[in-house]
A = this chain, B = another copy of it.
């Protein structure tokens, strides 16, 4: 029995497992791209398999069901959002907001923010996918609220008066303006939407 442990299991098992994780990541990235354009539900197992040049049942080696795939896709998309908007160091409100708009503007997801699209898609349904999307929305607003509160605590010029009114209220308004910028850019295909969003933010922070 102890001899089992000395077998080169790490080599024969861990390597494919690492590769499997990498492939899984590639599938999820592709799924998030497609979902941002067409919505989560439109990303069928068949279409995604074709896009990845594998068979449908090949995908089922990585995901147990479509819902499982959708949840993993949301997770992947959230990590992308965090990486581009929340984590890059400078957590001043203005810097955070500019990164946020720029993340829409540069089309990090080719179809715009996945959370706006998929959020409304699942708004009226129940279940884990709805809950994951609702949680992502809450986390987005909480990130804004946190940045406002931190700015107020640091004694920032405008920011202090901002959090004095109500950080939650300002966070709602900022989030509304940000997502409206994305929304109007996607639907009207007019980059003026971002100019509107930036002007609104300037007014809000003044």
12 A-B pairs within 8 Å (CB atoms) are namely: A111-B124, A112-B123, A112-B124, A117-B121, A119-B187, A120-B187, A123-B183, A124-B186, A137-B187, A169-B196, A173-B196, A175-B180
- CB neighbours (8 Å) of A133 from chain B are 187
Q: Are A120 and B116 in contact (CB under 8 A)?
A: yes
| A53 interface hit (Cβ, 8 Å) | no
Per-residue contact bits, chain A 127-149, to B (CB 8 Å; 1 contact, 0 not): 00010011001100000000000
| A176 interface hit (Cβ, 8 Å) | yes
Q: Are B169 and A199 in contact (CB under 8 A)?
A: yes
State the main secondary structure of chain A at its contact with B.
helix
- CB neighbours (8 Å) of A137 from chain B are 184, 187-188
- CB neighbours (8 Å) of A138 from chain B are 188
- Give residues in A with beta carbon < 8 Å to B: 36-39, 41-42, 111-112, 116-117, 119-125, 130, 133-134, 137-138, 166, 168-169, 172-173, 175-177, 179-181, 183-184, 186-188, 193, 196, 199-200, 203
Q: Ordered nearest first, which 10 A-B pairs have the shortest CB separation? A: A176-B180, A123-B186, A172-B196, A111-B124, A37-B124, A176-B176, A123-B187, A173-B200, A117-B120, A176-B177
With A38-B124, A111-B124 known, 17 other A-B pairs at CB within 8 A are: A38-B125, A41-B42, A120-B120, A120-B121, A120-B186, A122-B187, A123-B183, A130-B187, A134-B187, A169-B199, A172-B180, A172-B193, A176-B176, A176-B177, A176-B179, A176-B180, A179-B183
Q: Are A188 and B37 in contact (CB under 8 A)?
A: no
- Checking B38, B123, B166 against A117 with a beta-carbon cut-off of 8 angstroms, the contacting residue is B123
Residue of B nearest to A171 (CB): B196
Residue of B nearest to A186 (CB): B123
Q: How far is the CA of A175 from the CA of B193 in the complex (A)?
A: 12
Q: How far is the CA of A181 from the CA of B172 in the complex (A)?
A: 9
